[in-house]
Structure 1
Amino acid sequence: MRRRDFLQMAGMGLGATMLPRIPVLGNNVPLDAPWYTVDVAQKKKLADVALNEARSKGATYTDVRIGRYLNQYVITREDKVQNIVNTESYGIGIRVIANGSWGFAATDKMDTDSIAKAAQLAVAIARENARLLSEPVQLAPQKGYGEVSWKAPIEKNAFEVPIKEKVDLLLSVNDAALKGGGNYVNSYLFLVNEQKYFASSDGSYIDQDIHRIWPTFTITKVDAKTGKFETRDALSAPVGMGYEYLLPADADKIKGGVTTLYKKRYDMLEDAKAGAVQVGQKMLAKSVEAGKYDLVLDPTNLWLTIHESVGHPTELDRVLGYEANYAGTSFLTLDKWESKKFNFGSKEVNIVADKLQPGSLGAVGYDDEGVGTQRWDLIKEGILVNYQTIRDQAHILGLNASQGCCYADSWSDVQFQRMPNVSLQPGKNKLSPADIIKNVEKGIYIIGNSSYSIDQQRYNFQFSGQLYYEIKNGKIAGMLKDVAYQSNTQEFWNSCAAIADESDYRLGGSFFDGKGQPGQVSAVSHGASTTRFNGVNVINTARKI
């Protein structure tokens, strides 16, 4: 998945042409195949084969990842089902250090002889890599956890919900959108289950069961006379939850009752009804006048700006130039962190990295190096205070341990540094979105996200949205269109003037964040409350320069 594909997926202007680009791993399996997990004792037995063989061939460190990855995509258009994809991928990846260098090999042949040969190959590759080594790998220490497990706190396994129920939901969403005035509509349901087993020569045997879900749609309305059209994408967020995310509000008989996570459900049908009305309003909206505005950004818009302007530039491998050939570098160089006073944003800005937040895409118990996950500050009261690291990077920052940011998108890919959840913390004082709006004289309220552009250092950028509302003298004065805001990262976050309190805090995120060569994708969430930014440059995207 290329960075530009992530852009298109984030904006979710999918259409049928995007469908071939959705990453599909593994072999097709029957739609009615029962959901199950592989026996933990069997996985431990196979992992020990790899650990023992690598050690016997001279590896000083070994980790083993046994992965079973399930993907299900249900795709509809108007009154038809366009495609249903149901896949399974199962195999083992073995990473070693020998002669101070990394080596990696993988196989989907899950017998002891094939696994032993893969371990031998990983050691042989490490020895060859060592010929080019300038300095040996330095791993941060990590205690072994013994035999432990972690499961996503889901209430209803989406893979056990009948396909017909999922199709019926999407077709009802399409029907509501068409009856509400849309001319075309696509709807989608993406499901992921990662069954991951990690074992290492440090003494860890970790079994994890991870679930993610993303329901979404795109509604299009066309002016028959002019041929002009507008779209409205779903305002859903992909989440680390089960099918309870989509259940109706009165369905409170789920095991455990209505939990905090369950209250954050998404009503896809109601969003489609509202979207159908709003896409018609967009046809009639007035075009924005370019200029400086105070922006009030809903979390459905702000999450992507956080992802691009905060999440990526605080990845340490990007800071060090490891991603320069593909996805760029970062303006947040080490000297800025070492100064302990680099002004990233206003004092209102507190941004944390978090691999623990329930319901988020990045929530796991342990990363793909067997490191227990955690939460830490990246930006504190506007000052850059930290980055994102893995075990062989920790020493660069003088850390005694990894921050648990290692991930691979399959058993066949080597794990590397990936973004944790990165979120703007809510304001500490009681403040609602309405309170923020009433204090704005000339502004724009932006909901949802669409296209964006940002430079290779994650500094100069432009973002747009789904819905734009003009604010005049503290009141919403009508809908606008053709809006995009431009700034640079430091200027933008220093313009942050007010953040709504935790009652408005919501997650956004991406299923398909691309990085690395060969490319891998990861899922990551970004939380925020509605936030005001003063004096931001707004352009009219319909005007020719």
Structure 2
Amino acid sequence: MKRRDFVGLTGLAAGSLWLPSLPSFAGDAVDPLRLLEPGPDVAVKKRMADVALNAAKSAGATYADVRIGRYLNQGVFTREKQVQNIVNSESYGAGVRVIANGTWGFAATNQVTEAGIAKAAQLAVQIAKANAKVQKEQVKLAPQKGYGEVEWKAPIKQNAFEVPIKDKVELLLAANAKAMENGASFVNSVLFQVNEQKYFASTDGSYIDQDIHRIFPTFGVTVVDRASGKFRSRQALSAPMGLGYEYLTPKAEDKIAGPQGSGVIGYRNSYDILEDAALAARQAKEKLTAKSVVPGKYDLVLDPHHLGLTIHESVGHPLELDRVLGYEANYAGTSFATLEWKAKNLPYGSKNVNIVADKLQPGSLGAVGYDDEGVKTKEWKLIDEGKLVGYEKIRDQAHIVGQTESDGCCYSQSWQDVQFQRMPNVSLRPGTAKMSVDDMVSKVDKGIYIAGNGSFSIDQQRYNSQFGGQVFYAIEKGKITGMLEDVAYQTNTLEFWNSCAAVCDQSDYRFAGFFNDGKGQPSQSSAVSHGSSTSRFNSVNVINTARKIG
């Protein structure tokens, strides 16, 4: 690969029109070729890890773990025919977590030398001992066997960082051109790529080397009717994925059509950004003349790209055990699904609702071999035939609910942040009976089909909520009859999931996902996927978001 071809347009940089917050971009700006250089040899990382563990034990720690991390990020930003910005960053360092006098302590350093990492370990123990003076109850860790020296690599086919920036720019500009050709007035597009090279070691006897990749192509299209001054937008229907650049090589078998008459196309393991950009412009234009919804009760047919957000907010977050216990109350609220509520055995949803947590599904954002405290990942049930049966928990939480093992969902966004409980993938299992989207629509007398994420709100206990979307289509007597606008549905978590009447089969199953799920103080960001098939929810309250009250 020639340097000139790889670097291509990196000299072009300007203030980005649209730059989502990515905390991991806080690393040092680097030449893009730096992202291709191999990280430290695993033998070096093991030696450094042993220095940290030995220093911690010598200082009085009864348990210690160390994470040596190299975090690489690249973002390519374009608007219409121009490159807006190209960002390349690298962050490298080590974080040491210990238990001393029954209390947690943590310290981090970017000096990954024997002296630097030993100093961080000693500081972590000092912090733990200081914390112990005010600790009311000692930390209780679920037992965890050591795995020795193991590795896990994301099963990518093409490392996105090895693809010349010139090629990525050309793809984004081609998507912009497709949108403009189909009526867009404005369009911006972005390609994010992340590589986490993480090494974990603990006094349990694990030395785990992992190589994790994520990719997120996305865009926003706006169409303006200059005569009326009206404008409408549509965002990409892509999902961020735990894949390599192969995600951007479309495959016919990965396309999944929405209901007949909607024109919506879903994507599974590959994504056609050119097709989606062209369709987005046409749909944004169609929105300008779409009928405004009449408020009332409707059966909702929800596409997986839309339903993922509802799963995230009304199941994923309320079943985080630290939130249930009140640990997140100051920042992001608590949960209605308390231990006391669970004990009542009340229905969370209908018998069609089977929701699992996992960090295993290939291509998902959450897929890893081991979490950030050395626990081998797995799948477990959260909701079984409508009943709440589990929470999301880590090693120091398991005993609270009478369990003896972690769920393996501990995560830190970087080496310099302490790991804590984060949402795993949370997914609605597909239906077992054969059912296509058209089959589902055919059974709806008065309804709305919704695809894509829109604005939303949900209360502090993750109970009362309102969700919008990207595109909406009326369903009348089993047929799609035209586009609607100004649609949002209002519900509460239990009412919504108990209204789940049907779920399409495995052939419709795909991911939605989020690159930047915030939690904690100081705030951290994580990435998570939500799998589902198209699902129907009966008699849901729909409001008109354009109508004024009073």
Q: Give me the TM-score of the superposition, normalised by structure 2.
A: 0.93
- 8 Å CA contact 1:337–1:386 kept in 2: the answer is no
Pairing 1:378-389 to 2, within 5 Å after superposition: 378-389=382-393
How far off its partner does 1:223 sit?
1.3
Q: Deviations over 1:189-220 (max 9, x none)?
A: 01000000000000000000000000000000
How far off its partner does 1:282 sit?
0.7
Check 1:495–1:301 CA distance in 2 against 1; reply closer, same or farther (3 A cut): same
How far off its partner does 1:264 sit?
1.9
**What residue number does 1:247 align with?**
249
**What residue number does 1:26 align with?**
27
**What residue number does 2:300 align with?**
295
How far off its partner does 1:32 sit?
2.9
How far off its partner does 1:20 sit?
6.7
**What residue number does 1:316 align with?**
321
Structure 2 unaligned regions, length at least 5 = 1-14, 255-266
**What residue number does 2:210 align with?**
208
**What residue number does 2:7 align with?**
none
How far off its partner does 1:337 sit?
2.3
- 8 Å CA contact 2:16–2:85 kept in 1: the answer is no
How far off its partner does 1:37 sit?
3.0
**What residue number does 1:462 align with?**
466
**What residue number does 1:6 align with?**
none
- Residues 1:284 and 2:289 are matched in the alignment: yes
Question: Quick one: distance in 2 between partners of 1:428 and 1:229?
Answer: 42
Question: Quick one: distance in 2 between partners of 1:28 and 1:272?
Answer: 30
Question: RMSD of the alignment, in Å?
Answer: 1.4
Pairing 1:496-535 to 2, within 5 Å after superposition: 496-535=500-539
How far off its partner does 1:114 sit?
1.1
Q: Deviations over 1:144-184 (max 9, x none)?
A: 00000000000000010000000000000000100110000
| Count of paired positions | 521
**What residue number does 2:260 align with?**
none
Check 1:496–1:248 CA distance in 2 against 1; reply closer, same or farther (3 A cut): closer
Q: Describe the SS at the equivalent of 2:298.
A: strand
Structure 1 unaligned regions, length at least 5 = 1-14, 253-261
How far off its partner does 1:251 sit?
13
Question: Quick one: distance in 1 between partners of 2:486 and 2:386?
Answer: 31
Residue type at the aligned position of 2:290:
A
- 8 Å CA contact 1:25–1:71 kept in 2: the answer is no
Q: Deviations over 1:221-241 (max 9, x none)?
A: 011122221001000000000
- 8 Å CA contact 2:383–2:389 kept in 1: the answer is yes
Q: Give me the TM-score of the superposition, normalised by structure 1.
A: 0.94
Question: Quick one: distance in 2 between partners of 1:68 and 1:51?
Answer: 19
**What residue number does 1:305 align with?**
310
How far off its partner does 1:302 sit?
0.2
Check 1:248–1:495 CA distance in 2 against 1; reply closer, same or farther (3 A cut): closer
**What residue number does 1:9 align with?**
none
How far off its partner does 1:17 sit?
5.4
Q: Deviations over 1:354-392 (max 9, x none)?
A: 111100000000000000000000000000000000000
- Residues 1:357 and 2:361 are matched in the alignment: yes
Question: Quick one: distance in 2 between partners of 1:302 and 1:249?
Answer: 24
- Determine which of 210, 218, 221 is the counterpart of 1:219: 221
Pairing 1:351-430 to 2, within 5 Å after superposition: 351-430=355-434
- 8 Å CA contact 2:366–2:424 kept in 1: the answer is yes
- Residues 1:330 and 2:320 are matched in the alignment: no
- 8 Å CA contact 2:269–2:363 kept in 1: the answer is no
Q: Deviations over 1:408-437 (max 9, x none)?
A: 000000000000000000001000110000
How far off its partner does 1:19 sit?
1.8
Question: Quick one: distance in 2 between partners of 1:532 and 1:250?
Answer: 26
- Runs of 4+ in structure 1 off by over 4 angstroms are 15-18
**What residue number does 2:455 align with?**
451
Question: Quick one: distance in 2 between partners of 1:186 and 1:497?
Answer: 38
